[in-house]
Amino acid sequence: MSLPSAPQAAKLVIGIFTRDATRLPPVLEDLIKLFGDIDLLSAWMPFDYTHYYEREMGPALMRRMAAFKPLIAQDALAAVKLKTNAIEQQYSEDRKRSVNIDPGYMLRERFVLATGKNFAHRIYIGGHIYADLTLIFAKGSFQSLPWTYPDYKASDMQSFLYRVRNKYIKDITETEFI
């Protein structure tokens, strides 16, 4: 028999992509108000792995990733996604998003994204939101899965996620001993 145990807190990681770099500062301010200070912020990364969002948001999209200082409960991910969806709506123009905000979380062993889209490998977590197991950490590195988005396989993204994972391990270790 397995005995239920409390899940470990997770590091909140949010990706923001847009074609208008001036949108980033106010969006980050909104996210900080909701989720606390930012621990790590990536450099701008090209978002040219898919043309899926171009019809709505236009071409030449760029992404930045932010990891937040406060740890979150894993079961808060659906609520986080609903809050980020509201921010997307706030910055929409003519019913089209000018920013896309993708929240997820980091644990020692995996990186998970939230999505409103169901698929075979996604698990429903409430509030019309699904969890997408995006990367696993095994044998000392991130391992992609057949459904991992190409941008999460890219070296610039993985480099940032390694930094996030290392900071998360430091945070969780310090928290465990307080």
pLDDT classification of 48: cutoffs 50, 70, 90: confident
Looking at domain 10-176, which CATH architecture does it have?
A: 2-Layer Sandwich (3.30)
> CA-to-CA distance for 115 and 106, rounded, in angstroms?
15
Q: Which two tokens stand for residue 64?
A: 């930045």
End-to-end CA distance of the chain: 31
Compute CA distances 130 → 70, 79, 86, whole Å.
22, 11, 17
DSSP category for residue 21: G
Could you tell me the residue ranges of all domains in the chain? 10-176
DSSP category for residue 121: T
Q: Name the helix (H) or strand (E) containing 77.
A: helix 77-90
Residue at 26: amino acid letter: P
Per-residue model confidence as pLDDT tens digits over 92-127 = 999 999 999 999 999 999 999 999 999 999 999 999
176 in helix, strand or coil?
helix
CA 137 from centre of chain: 16
Beta bridge partners of 143: 136
Per-residue model confidence as pLDDT tens digits over 54-91 = 889 999 999 999 999 999 999 999 999 999 999 999 99
Model pTM?
0.94
Q: Residue 135: which residues within 8 A CB-CB, separation 6 or more? A: 110, 111, 142, 143, 144, 145, 148, 152, 161
Average pLDDT over residues 153-157: 95
- Residue 100: half-sphere exposure toward Cβ, Cα within 13 Å: 18
